[in-house]
Amino acid sequence: MTKWNEVMMDNYGTPGIELVRGEGIFLFDSFGRKYLDFLGGIATSLLGHAHPEIVSAVTKQISTLSHVSNLYAHPTVLQLAEKLTQMTGGGRVFFCNSGAEANEAAIKISRLTGKSRIIATDGAFHGRTMGALSLTGQPNKRAPFEQLLPGITHVPFGDLIAMKEALALGDVAMVIVEAIQGEAGVILPPPGYLLALRELTTRYGALLACDEVQGGMGRTGKWFSYQHEGVVPDIVTVAKGLGGGLPLCAIIAVTPAAQLFTPGSHGSTFGGNPTSCAAAIATISVIESAQLLESNYRLGSVLKDGLSTVDGIHAVRGIGLWIGLDLEDAPAVTKELQTLGVLVNAAGSQTIRIAPPFIVTESQISEFISLLGQAIRKVAS
């Protein structure tokens, strides 16, 4: 950690452990200690670590063709784009490398509508680059970097009256929401919220963008969390789990948003590179063949039922393998869990977020619940 402080910038603070190896749901640190990974690289390592199908697909691809840029086509990018458009029910794809970049692309598409305003929601997290940060509804993250993009209005998440008032002011190119807010602590809006947003955005001629960077790729038991309400957005942004642990993001837009980029409007050197696309195809194929969407939904209920029996947990929220739980002193409980060999994330002072890999078993869920109870008792004592 002395070396970390010497050579790394301080934006992440100093990590408590150094990880050197992963296998399935387990991670191992440089002292050989084993950790049950209930965070999955922040909702990213969907199939855990060193999954044989991903290792094989990446090894094959990297030894055949690892990078070509977007001046040329290659079969893996086309296969993945086709798969993603099947999941969304149509559209066209632009590939890039991170969630923030996907949302930057959404901002650029929205500008090409000829309108200039964007409405986002309080509490939302859309990334750290200047455009994505401008959308992020957390003033403490935005403040040090003002001036950000002009023309962005934040309204309370779930508040349709405020949304309608902001739309009625006119010139709105896009409304962007997380169907379930992840960084904010896995916060679900009131039922019907997305359906109403779809109706309002259509009425006011604005694009509806769903940021599925964290909630997408099957974590909630459907490919995208907005699909629980049966809406069809104009733009979907995906990253994190898409590449099965490799950097990859996609923005999928349906007509007319899909037609707005023309040659020269946007680009990314690495976006959709063959190696990351091969990892994504392998990840999707395992999710489908092992029917992990169905099992994620079921395991999520097992997890929620178990968590609701633990003393000291005040609230449990979420769908599938994406859960926020409220308790006293989340950072201290997170630290104690790490000592007990379990990795989770404190999404705030009173909220822990869990996003285990989809390969988690019922017995690992029981073990997690028992260790969490132990950590809460230790912190309270």
Ligand X SMILES: Cc1ncc(COP(=O)(O)O)c(C=O)c1O
Q: Could you list the active site residues? A: 125, 211, 240
Strand-pair category, 235-238 with 207-211: parallel
Identity of the residue, 178 or 336, whose beta carbon is nearer to ligand X in the bound complex = 178
Rounded distance, CA 83 to CA 88, Å?
Answer: 9
Contact assessment for residue 167 and residue 205, using Cβ atoms and an 8 Å cutoff:
no
Identity of the residue, 211 or 234, whose beta carbon is nearer to ligand X in the bound complex = 211
Identity of the residue, 306 or 318, whose beta carbon is nearer to ligand X in the bound complex = 318
Comparing every residue's Cβ against ligand X, the nearest one is 99
Identity of the residue, 271 or 306, whose beta carbon is nearer to ligand X in the bound complex = 271
Instruction: Count the Cβ atoms, other than its own, within 10 Å of residue 301.
Output: 12
Smallest separation, CB 211 to ligand X (Å): 5
Return the ∠ at Cα 121 (arms to 327 and 93), rounded to 5°: 110
Q: What does the binding site for ligand X look like in residue numbers (CB under 6 A)? A: 98-100, 103, 125-127, 178, 182-183, 211, 213-214, 239
Smallest separation, CB 239 to ligand X (Å): 5
Contact assessment for residue 26 and residue 39, using Cβ atoms and an 8 Å cutoff:
no
Whether the upstream peptide bond of residue 256 has omega within 30° of 0, thus cis, is: yes
Smallest separation, CB 132 to ligand X (Å): 6
Identity of the residue, 236 or 257, whose beta carbon is nearer to ligand X in the bound complex = 236
Rounded distance, CA 99 to CA 240, Å?
Answer: 7
Identity of the residue, 239 or 376, whose beta carbon is nearer to ligand X in the bound complex = 239
Amino acid at 78: L
**CA distances, 97 to each of 236, 272, 278 (Å):** 15, 8, 14
Smallest separation, CB 352 to ligand X (Å): 16
Nearest of 321, 79, 77, 91 to residue 209 by alpha carbon = 91
Partners of residue 21 on adjacent β-strands: 28
Burial class (CB in 10 A: 0-12, 13-18, 19+), 190: exposed
List phi, psi (to 5°) of 153.
-110, 135
List phi, psi (to 5°) of 234.
-85, -30
Smallest separation, CB 367 to ligand X (Å): 27
**CA distances, 2 to each of 6, 8, 269 (Å):** 6, 10, 35
Rounded distance, CA 264 to CA 271, Å?
Answer: 15
Smallest separation, CB 141 to ligand X (Å): 11
